[in-house]
Amino acid sequence: MESFLVSFSTVAIAEMGDRTQLLALVLAAHFRRPWPILAGVLVASLVSMGVAGYVGAHLGQYLTPARLDAIVGVSMIGMALWALKSDSLEGGSAQPRSGNAFVATSIAFFVAELGDKTEIATVALGAAYPSLLGVVSGTTLGMLAANAPVVFLGSAFSSRLPLKAIHVTASLLFLALGVLFLWRAYAHW
């Protein structure tokens, strides 16, 4: 259960103001069809987080608990710094309003997640926790929890988000998680 809760909260926090959340906003404003967009987010997240968690789980076999906690702690502190950087979308939406919102979202989210902080966090969490199912389901549902309000509220939501405050709060939460994991690593040594 810990793997699910930590994974869920890590990705839900990391996703606040992230480029994929901004992508969800653009897709929602463009297609105005929330359910296919959320289905696309789900499919892309399951694939992306599943692969990332699997890679992390296999890397985790070669590390001691102290090293795993240290790696996760350092990665969380790195994410704290990364969270301070605001993401933005460049350019406009060149897609026509007609088309398949599900396919467009699935492809766009999968590509946008490649090397993203939530995917990197999933690799680290997959290495840290023995429950791959807990990590993948937590990160996937965290992604949905962060993006669902944006998808349903569309463009009206974007102008009211205090992105700077969200980034600072997320950064502080990641910093706290990083310190916790580093403390656990220290306790193992």
Note whether residue 167 is domain-resident: no
Q: CA-to-CA distance for 101 and 177, rounded, in angstroms?
A: 36
What is the model's pLDDT at position 95?
A: 43
Note whether residue 39 is domain-resident: yes
Note whether residue 126 is domain-resident: yes
Note whether residue 178 is domain-resident: no
What is the model's pLDDT at position 96?
A: 41
What is the model's pLDDT at position 167?
A: 66
What is the model's pLDDT at position 157?
A: 57
- pTM (two decimals): 0.70
Residue spans of alpha helices (H) in the chain: 2-14, 19-31, 34-60, 65-83, 101-113, 117-128, 132-158, 163-188
Note whether residue 184 is domain-resident: no
Note whether residue 187 is domain-resident: no
What is the model's pLDDT at position 99?
A: 60
What is the model's pLDDT at position 162?
A: 66
What is the model's pLDDT at position 158?
A: 52
Note whether residue 169 is domain-resident: no
What is the model's pLDDT at position 166?
A: 65
Cβ–Cβ under 8 Å, residues 36 and 100 = yes
Q: Which domain holds residue 132?
A: 2-71+98-161
The number of residues making up the chain comes to 189
What is the model's pLDDT at position 155?
A: 53
What is the model's pLDDT at position 87?
A: 53
CA angle 169, 170, 176 (to 5 degrees): 90
Unique residue bearing structure tokens 């795993």: 68
Q: Which residues of the chain have pLDDT under 50?
A: 89-98
Note whether residue 12 is domain-resident: yes
Tell me how many domains the chain contains: 1
What is the model's pLDDT at position 93?
A: 43
What is the model's pLDDT at position 66?
A: 79
